Amino acid sequence: MSWDEWWRRRRRYWDEDEFFDIDRIFEDLMRFMREFEKRFFEGLREYRPREYEKFERIEGPVVYGFSITIGPDGKPIIREFGNVRRVRGKPEIVEEREPLVDVFESENEITVVAEIPGVDKEKIDVKVTEDGKTLIINASNDKRKYYKEVDLPSKVDPSSAKASYKNGVLEVKLKKIGKEEGRGVKIKVE
């Protein structure tokens, strides 16, 4: 059924009766959408069979989202999360999800908050690089895997780091350091 046919039937319902049957309209719309989806994927398979194979191998959900905030300079900051990455300008689905992360900076401390639901606390691995400029979050469970490298706004002391995990939210607090070089240290999650 084409879009025009569906629209003509819809208009016919309105013309026949003042109180048209909304259920019939939705049934026709759902039938139209199922046929459209079927034809779309058949056409995709014929047009680009190799690229379609990637989508057939996906297990689990495809997750993509973004967060927009206003930075201290008044410019918008757009952060993406999920398991869809851009590789050479094209979207590619990967096994590891990128969690939604917020970084808060105060005078003496940096706080990193990451949303990683569905993972046990024991399966979370949080590290700070030796130069104290990057926080690496790696978490995995049977069905979910998360990975994110967070660039920190200032150098931090890795040995002062404290991490807590509750209700799918990981919070890491790091003390800032001056010009000194820090060493890489694994952070225990409480």
Q: What are the pLDDT digits (tens) for 10-21?
A: 655 555 555 556
- Strands 109-115 and 100-105 turn out to be antiparallel
How do strand 109-115 and strand 169-176 relate by DSSP bridges?
A: antiparallel
**pLDDT category of residue 172 using cuts at 50, 70 and 90:** very high
pTM of the model: 0.60
Please report the domains of the chain, with CATH numbers, ordered by start residue: 3-56 (no CATH), 98-187 (2.60.40.790)
Q: What is the pLDDT of residues 67-107, one digit of tens each?
A: 888 877 888 888 888 888 777 777 777 788 889 899 998 88
HSE toward the beta carbon, residue 112, CA cutoff 13 A: 28
Q: Is the pLDDT assigned to residue 110 strictly greater than 90?
A: yes
Helices (H), the chain: 3-16, 22-47, 49-56
Greatest pairwise CA separation for the chain in angstroms: 80
Instruction: Report DSSP state, residue 99.
Output: P
For the stretch 48-60, pLDDT in tens is: 555 555 555 555 6
- Other C-beta atoms within 10 Å of 29: how many? 13
